[in-house]
Amino acid sequence: MTETAITDAPAIDDEVVLVEVTDGVMVISINRPRARNAVTLQVSQAVAAALDELDERSDVTVGVLTGVGTSFCAGMDLKAYARGERPSIEGRGFGGLTERPPLKPLIAAVEGHALGGGFELALACDLVVASRGATFGLPEVRRGLVAAAGGLLRLPHRVPTSVAMHLVLTGGTLTAEEAHQWGLVNELTEDGESLRHARQLAARIAANGPLAVAASKQVIMQHEQWPVADRFRAQRELLDPVFRSADAQEGARAFTEKRTPQWKGC
């Protein structure tokens, strides 16, 4: 199994995951603050449902994943794991995210701990905004576990292999400053400010054509799986519908008319 964890203390709110949509941005908040937002199967199911809604809603362009309180996510709930619970969903992975991220962009807003599965959730996001007091790490080996929710697969593509190896084999941690230096964090904020800044970043993305944003993400995420000689053909399959869309026409008209485009998502 994978992630590290803390306790199975109940959340202050009965809902283990909170969802809020404003101006084309969906904020998904893990709501187990007294457990440092450690992930249970219930959390994974709720996050997966929220991500399905993110992709299905035409009025939402981008998502933000965060944790209520002072921690992003401390990983898998070890007490639930010891009782035999596994917080992964078939085909979706840990947290309902790590094996199948959404088609639309997802930003992690990180405060405090992003450890074990929490770090793997952040690695599964497209962008990361973190407070200076945040801590990232994969301490699974200290519990006799392994980072099987994407940490071993994604981290070596984001930092030099030697850095990834050191983190994984020692179970050590990175400060937010160090993670930013390695490119794991896109934006640094003061403590308590990560969600606000993530909302601002999300708003900049949501202002763009939703079809273009989603298709652009998919090309970036998929292109390495395509044979080099076939990449432009495979790219066209994703991008041609965007060029044929009403939104593409609206974008061109808005530019010539010097006004803000009114996207329809079609």
Q: What is the CATH number of domain 210-256?
A: 1.10.12
* Max CA pair span of the chain: 62
SS3 category, 261: coil
Q: What is the CATH number of domain 17-206?
A: 3.90.226.10
- pLDDT tens per residue across span 8-22: 344 444 799 999 999
- pLDDT tens per residue across span 194-217: 999 999 999 999 999 999 999 999
Q: How far apart are CA 127 and CA 157, in angstroms?
A: 15
Q: Which residues are catalytic?
A: 120, 140
Strand order, beta sheet including 135-137:
113-115, 135-137, 173-175
* Domain ranges (residues) in the chain: 17-206, 210-256
pLDDT of 97 > 90? The answer is yes
Using CA atoms in the order 186, 187, 193, 196, what is the torsion angle rounded to 10 degrees? -70
